[in-house]
Structure formats: structure tokens, C-alpha cells
Amino acid sequence: MAQRGPGGATGLLTSALRYALSVSALVKPTELASPTPCAQWDIRALLRHLGESVADLEAGLRTGSLDDAGQADPAPARPPRLAGHDEVDLFSPAGVLRERAAALLCACYDGGPAERFVVVGGLPLPAGIVACTGAVEITVHGWDVSAALGRGGSIPPALATRLLALCPLLATSREGLFAPAVPVSPEASPGDRLLGYLGRDPGAPPWARPEAYRPGQGGQAGTGTGQPGNWSRRLAAP
């Protein structure tokens, strides 16, 4: 008998993390400086940003407030090895992301997002909405890494279908968060339709360099078109 995974917001977040982690595990050290669909961000900066966002989300669900997000613990000072995974260590961007993803899932399972509220911009929001918004960001950045690598696979159809249904409710404002929607075929896969809705071009070649990207500037980008803002902006109240 097949095992059933968690449902609701926790299940959605788990699926998003599974996809993003599977892609990030493919990144080789020599590829960390490669450009990504996020303007001015290389893969290293994108993984760093994703790890910080995951840590902020974990802190918000654990403490009940995202207003103080942005104080993620630094990466470990030493690179401890994981048993059975000698090729990956916690000091790498993918390793840091994995550890923070584990902490986030622990926060989700400890009581469950559906039973909590999280203060965002001074207003309490159901934690399930916060978790689902996090799932959108984690998923699309997982694809950003995949597109930069030219491998890693598309967004799983079941995950993309659920996010497509939620996005109109979660992404109430595009300005400064997402680029304008990219037209895709009505017969496109759920993953491609999700990417188009969020301003990504699913048909762009993996080697395309965004116009604003400058080698060596990874991690220096501020919020702009196609890049996420802070949590208060991501969860702007209607």
C-alpha cells in the first residue's frame, strides 16, 4: 500500500521543498557562479537567498511573527559531513538549504500551520496562507536553479496544479515581486503555465544570460522585477 504524505499547507510545502532540494543537490561547485533567471543573481546567490527565505519562514511559523524575519543564523563555520552523503556537506549552499528545510518541516509538524496565525506587517494571517506562499517561492526558485543548470526536471505536475489554483489568491500584487505574465500555450504543462503566470519563460534556454546579470555581482541584487521582496510585500493584505 502506498504511503500517504501530509495534506493541506504542510503537504504543499513538503512537495515544494522536495522539488527544490532535489534540484539543488545537482549543483556542482564549478556551477555556483552560473547565471540564473533572477536578474544579477548567480546560483550561489540564489541558493543563499532561498536558504534565508526558508529560515525566515521557519522562524515565523515557530514564533508567530514574520515582522522580524531576516535574522537567519549564519552558515556553519565548519563543513561537517553527513553520514552516507560524503559528497555533500552542510557548509555548501545546498547543504545549508537542506538543514534549514528540515527545521522548517519540524516547525510545520509541531502543531500544524492550520492551527496558527502569523503576524505579517502587523496583521495576523493564517499560518496556512503563509506556508502556501512560501511553497510558491520555493518551487519557482527550484525551477530557477534547474533552468540555470539545464537539468533537474520540470516542476512536478501535481505540485504545479495546486499552486496554479492558489496563486491568484496569494500573489495579489506583482509589482516588484514578479515580472509580467509570460504567455504560454493553453496546452502547456501545469508547470509551464505556473511559470508563465509568475513571469518566467519556460522556453528560455538554460544558458540565456539576463540582461541585468553581471558576472561576479552575485548576491548584490536588490528587489526588482522578477525577484521576491520581503515577507510583508509577499503577503500584502488585500
Antiparallel, parallel or unpaired: β 123-126 and 117-120: antiparallel
Q: Assess contact for 232 and 67: CB atoms under 8 A.
A: yes
224: Cβ–Cβ under 8 A, 6 or more apart, which residues? Answer: 39, 176, 212
Return the CATH class of domain 9-76+85-234: mainly alpha
pLDDT at position 139: 96
Q: How far is CA 25 from the centre of its chain?
A: 14
Q: Phi-psi region for residue 216, left (φ > 0), alpha (ψ -120 to 50) or beta?
A: left
Residue 81 sits at φ, ψ, to 5 deg, of -90, 150
Length of the chain, please?
A: 238
pLDDT at position 159: 96
**At residue 236, what is the residue type?**
A
Residue 42 sits at φ, ψ, to 5 deg, of -90, 180
pLDDT at position 91: 67
CA distance 65 to 57: 9
**CA 175, 177, 183: angle at the middle one, nearest 5?**
80
85: Cβ–Cβ under 8 A, 6 or more apart, which residues? Answer: none
**Splitting the chain (238 residues) into consecutive groups of 10 residues, what average pLDDT does each group show?**
59 95 93 87 93 93 80 48 48 88 89 74 88 93 92 92 88 61 89 91 66 46 38 46
CA distance 195 to 32: 23
- Within 10 angstroms of residue 180's Cβ, the number of other Cβ atoms is 9
Q: Assess contact for 54 and 97: CB atoms under 8 A.
A: yes
pLDDT at position 153: 85
CA distance 106 to 36: 30
